[in-house]
Structure 1
C-alpha cells in the first residue's frame, strides 16, 4: 500500500506442556519457550511497531515467590527493548552464577520470565495515545492465583459506552473509558463471580480455605466465564488471556473478524495472529496450523489439557478481507494465491482500459505489497494475450508465413519497475501532519523506460484509501517519465466506509472515495442528499445500535462506480501533472471470488457484520458534517 494504514495489533502465546527440564535436555536450554516467543513477535512486527509487551507466568510457585512478570515498551524498537530487558537479566545471572544458571529449577526460582506460559503483544498506537499504559498485556492482580488475569488482544469494540455503563451498574469504577479496560474488567468481574461460586460450594462441603484454592483452580469453568463476559461485546476481537494459576485461552469473535491460529503437539501450544508465522517458527506444515474457530475459545488448562469450546454462537463468517489484501504476511499460502487472483481478475478491465495496445503500454507496481497482485495481473494479461495470438494466427489462413507468425508470437507485455520505495522513509511517517510533509520523497523513479508522450503507464497498488501519497508523490514522480497517460490500478475496491474493528481507517472524511461522492453531489445539484443523510443520521443517533440503519450509503447511491472512480482521478491528479490520469478499481464481486472464505467487506459496501458498525458509520458522518475530528467509537 502506498499509504501508511496502521493495524491494531498482533498476539503471540506460548504454553509449554512439559517441565522446563525437558527442554533443557532436548533443546539444550530452558529458554526454549521464550526464544520461540521472541521469534513469533519478531515475525509479526508488521502488525505493530509502536509498542510491545510480554508477560511470563510460572506455574506452581511457592507462596511468597513472584510468579507473574511483565515488561512493556514504547521504545523506537519495542520488541528489541523488551527482550533486551529480559535477556539482560539472564546474562547478569549467567555472569554471576555460572554454576547454577543453566539449572532449570534454579532459574525458575530465581529469575523473572523463566516460565511455562508466555503472552506477547504488538501494538500500533492511535490518536496520540502511545504510552506504555496503553500497551498490552494488561493485568488485574489479586492475592488468589485464580483471580489474577492477564489479557492481550487484537480488538476493537464499537459499544464501549454501553459496556462502560454496565460496569458502573455492577458497582465498579473503571479507571479509563477504553475497550481495553472494559474487556479486562468485564472478564475480571465474571472470573471473580466464578471464584466466589466455587468457594461457596466447597465451603458448604466442609473444605478449609486452604483446601479450597486448589479445588477452584482445578474446576474453574473458563468457558462459562468467557461466555458471560463477552455476551454483550460488539466488535472484532482475538484475545489471549492467562489466569494466574496457569489456565490460558484465546477467544475469537463470532464473525471471525480478527484472525487467530494455533499449533499444538505434546510439547507446546503456540498461538499467533498469522498462520505462516507459526509455520516458520515451529517448522511445521500448513496443515498442522489450525484456525481458532469464530465464536470459539482455545483453552489450555493448568495441566496442559487442550480443548476448543464454543463461547458464542458463530455468526455468518465475515473475516476481514483487508487482512488478505494487505496486512497479513504474503508468505501464507492462501493469502499469496488470493492476492495473485485479485490481480488476475483485473486483467480484462485493464486490457480494455489500454485498448489492447500492448506496444505502447508499460506495466509496473507500487512496492512493496502490491508485487503479488502485479504478478497475478500479468498472468491474467498473458492469458488474454495467448488467446489474442491464437486468433491472430488462425486469421492468417493461407497467408501464414514464418515472418507473420514470429511477429505475432513476439508480442509481449512491457514490464518495468518504475517506482522504487525508499524504505528508510516509512519509519518517520507517524502522523498526518508529518506524513503530508514527507510523502513526496517516499518513492524514487526509474528514468528512460517510458516513451515520451506516447506510452500508457499502468501501475497497480493494493488499495487506495486517502490518496495522499498518490497525489503528492507517486503521480508527480511518474509524470517525470513523460507518459501520455497514467492508469493507477487498485487491487481492492473503493474504500467508502470507516472500519471500527481494528484498522486505523476511522474518519469518513479522509477517504478519497467519500470526498469524490460528496464533490459529485455538489457539482450535480444534489447537495440535498448530504443534508437529508445528515438529518436521518441525527434522528437515529440515540437509538439502540440494533435499530440503526446505515444511511451513509445514500451518499453513493446516485452514482455508478465508474463515475466515482473518474472523480477520484480528477481529485488526485496534481495540477502540475501533464499526463492523463485514470484510476481503475477492483469490483466487490471479484474481491469475493478471490477471497471466498473471508467476506468481511464493510469498508467497501457498508454492510457491517455487527449492529455497532452501523452506529459507527452514522456517527462518523455526523462528525464529518459537524467538523469533529477523531474516530466515532
Structure 2
C-alpha cells in the first residue's frame, strides 16, 4: 500500500492441556507453549508494530504465590524484546542450577511466564497513545483468585463513554483514551457478579452474554481468568477475524488461520473459524465448548483483511487477492485500447504483488484468446517464422517501482520535505520507451493519495511514458472505519477530497451547508447514529467522475502526460472475496449504529476544521 494505514491488531491464545513434563518428553522442551506463542506472534507481526504484550496464568499454584503475570514492550522489535526477557530469566536460573530445564515443576515455579494459559497481543495504536500503558493485555487484580482477569483483543469500540456509565465508573484520563479499559471494566464487573453467585467458578458464558450485548464495535478478544478458565470471542457480525485449533495437547486461537497452520504444522481443515457471536470457552480442567454468546447478525467480515491486512500465505487469501487483480482486466484493456504491445505492467511494492499476478494472468488469458483467433484465421497461410512470432508474444512485465529504505527527515520546510518524500520509492531506468509505452501500476488500495502524488507518480514520470494508469485492487475509500482500522478522518481520504472538489467546481456548496446543519440537529437530538448523511456528498457523482478527479489530484502540476486511476468496483470486490462482505469504508453501509455516528461526527469535524478522530 503506497499510503500506509494502521493494520489490525493481532491476538494469540494458547491453553496447554497436558503437564509440562509431557511437553518435555514429547517435544523435547518444557518451553513448548512459550515457543509456540512466540511463533504465533511472529507469524502475525504484520498486524501490529507499535507494541506487544504477553500474559500467563499458572494452574494449581500454592496459596500466596503469584499466578498471573503480564509483560509489555514498545521496543522496535517488541516481540523479540519480550521473549528475550523470558530467556534471560531462564539463563539466570541456569547459572545456579544448570539442569533446571530437566525439572519442569521447579522451572514452572521460578519462570513467571511458564504458565498453562498464555495470551499474546500485537498492537497498532488506533486509539490512545503509543506508550507501553496502552499495550494489551490489560489486567485486573483481585484478592480472590477467580476475579483476576487478563484481557486483550483486536477491536475498536465506539461507545466507550456509555460503557463506563453502565458500570457506574467515572473514567480517568487514561481510561478515556482506551476502549480496552472500557471493555475490561464491563467484563470484570460481570465476572465479579457471577463469582458472587458461584464462588471460584464463575460462568464465563453468562459473563460474556451480559457484557458483549453492550459493546458497539467489531472485536476478537481473548481473556484469562485467575481460576484457570479462559475464553476467545468474536463479534456478532464477524467483523474481526478469529480462528482456532484444538488437539489433545493444546487449544489455540489467533487472528489469522495461516499463523496457526505454520506454527503447529497442521492442515487448513484442522483450523476452524470461530463464527460470528461465538466464544470458545476453556475450563480450568482443559475441557472446552464453543458457545453462541450473541445471536449472529448479517456477516460483515472486514474485506480489508483479504485485500491488505492478513498475510497472503493463506491459500484462500492468496486466491482472492489474485482474483481482485484478474477482475480489473477488462477495464484496463479498454483503457489501453487493447494495445498490449506498448503497455508495461508493474506493481507498487510490496503488498500489491499478488493482485499484480492476477491482473497479469488476466492479460495473458486475453492474449492467448487473441493468439488462437489469429492463428485460426490464417487457415493454411502461415510458416514457422510467422507462427513462432505469434506464439512468443508475451505480456510486458517489469519491476519498475522499488520501495527504498524507510526515509525519515528532520526537515520541516514543506518544499524540502516534499523533495525528500519523492525518494521513498525509486525506479528501474531503461524499461520504458519514452513517449510510446503506457505504464500500468497496481496498488492494493488508494487511501490518501499523498505518496502517489509526491513520490510514485513523480518518480515514474522520469521514465517519460506516454501515459500512467494507476489501478487500485480496492474500491474508493470514502468513509471512516471505527472497527479496528486507523481511518477516522474524512479529510484524509482522497476520494472524499475529490467529491468536495467536484461540489465546489459545480457550485453546490449549499449541499455541504445543508448536511452540516442536519448533522448538528441530529447531534442535538442524540440521533447521529440513525443514518449516514455523508452518502449524499457522493450521490451526485458517478464512480468514474470521482476517479477522474482523484487522478487529477494525484498528478503533479509539472507532469505533461495523462494520469488515469481505475478503482475496483464493489461488485467485483464481492465476487473475489465472497465471505468477507464488510465494505462500509467503501459504501457507507455500517454494520452497527455506531458507524453512522462516527461518519457524521467526522463530517462535522471536517466542516469545523477539527483535525481529530470521529470517535
- TM-score, length of structure 1 as denominator length: 0.93
Number of the residue aligned with 1:111: 111
1:608 aligns with 2:590: yes
The structure-2 alpha-carbon separation of the partners of 1:632 and 1:516, relative to structure 1 and needing over 3 Å to count, comes to same
**Match for residue 461 of structure 1 among 443, 465, 472:** 443
Measured on the aligned residues, the alpha-carbon RMSD in Å equals 1.9
Moved more, 513-522 or 530-539: 530-539
Residue-by-residue CA offset, 1:148-192 (whole Å, 9 max, x unaligned): 010010010111122122222xx6656621311110000000001
Q: Secondary structure at the match of 2:613?
A: coil
Q: Secondary structure at the match of 1:573?
A: coil
Number of the residue aligned with 1:478: 460
Residue-by-residue CA offset, 1:32-87 (whole Å, 9 max, x unaligned): 00000011111111111111111111011011111111110111211111111111
Alpha-carbon distance in 2 for matches of 1:470, 1:180: 35
Number of the residue aligned with 2:360: 378
Number of the residue aligned with 2:86: 86
Alpha-carbon distance in 1 for matches of 2:190, 2:207: 6
Number of the residue aligned with 1:96: 96
Alpha-carbon distance in 1 for matches of 2:507, 2:276: 46
Question: Any unmatched runs of 5+ in structure 1?
Answer: 200-215
Q: Secondary structure at the match of 1:176?
A: helix
The structure-2 alpha-carbon separation of the partners of 1:614 and 1:448, relative to structure 1 and needing over 3 Å to count, comes to same
**Match for residue 490 of structure 1 among 454, 462, 472:** 472
Question: Any unmatched runs of 5+ in structure 2?
Answer: none
The structure-2 alpha-carbon separation of the partners of 1:407 and 1:292, relative to structure 1 and needing over 3 Å to count, comes to same
Decide whether the 8 Å contact of 2:127 with 2:179 is kept in 1.
no
Alpha-carbon distance in 2 for matches of 1:546, 1:561: 26
- Displacement after TM superposition at 1:396 (Å): 3.2
- Displacement after TM superposition at 1:428 (Å): 9.0
Decide whether the 8 Å contact of 2:522 with 2:528 is kept in 1.
no
- Displacement after TM superposition at 1:410 (Å): 3.1
Residue-by-residue CA offset, 1:496-543 (whole Å, 9 max, x unaligned): 001100001111100000000000010011112111221222221244
Decide whether the 8 Å contact of 2:126 with 2:484 is kept in 1.
no
Q: Secondary structure at the match of 1:374?
A: helix
Alpha-carbon distance in 1 for matches of 2:255, 2:417: 28
1:592 aligns with 2:591: no
Decide whether the 8 Å contact of 2:8 with 2:309 is kept in 1.
no
Q: Secondary structure at the match of 1:13?
A: strand
Residue-by-residue CA offset, 1:369-406 (whole Å, 9 max, x unaligned): 11100111011111111222222233334645545444
Decide whether the 8 Å contact of 1:236 with 1:253 is kept in 2.
yes
Residue-by-residue CA offset, 1:224-268 (whole Å, 9 max, x unaligned): 100101111110000000000110100100000001111110000
Q: Secondary structure at the match of 1:303?
A: coil
Residue-by-residue CA offset, 1:391-440 (whole Å, 9 max, x unaligned): 22333346455454444333321111101112x417999x9x99967532
Number of the residue aligned with 2:242: 260
Alpha-carbon distance in 1 for matches of 2:532, 2:419: 35
- Displacement after TM superposition at 1:613 (Å): 0.4
Aligned residue runs from structure 1 range 231-310, under 5 A: 231-310=213-292
Alpha-carbon distance in 1 for matches of 2:373, 2:68: 71
Aligned residue runs from structure 1 range 225-624, under 5 A: 225-397=207-379, 399-422=381-404, 424-425=405-406, 439-544=421-526, 548-624=530-606
Decide whether the 8 Å contact of 2:93 with 2:100 is kept in 1.
no
The structure-2 alpha-carbon separation of the partners of 1:435 and 1:502, relative to structure 1 and needing over 3 Å to count, comes to farther
- What number of residue pairs does the alignment pair up? 610
Alpha-carbon distance in 2 for matches of 1:196, 1:580: 70
Alpha-carbon distance in 2 for matches of 1:254, 1:438: 45
Aligned residue runs from structure 1 range 21-60, under 5 A: 21-60=21-60
Moved more, 597-606 or 21-30: 21-30
Decide whether the 8 Å contact of 1:545 with 1:612 is kept in 2.
no
- TM-score, length of structure 2 as denominator length: 0.96
Number of the residue aligned with 1:66: 66
Q: Secondary structure at the match of 2:29?
A: coil
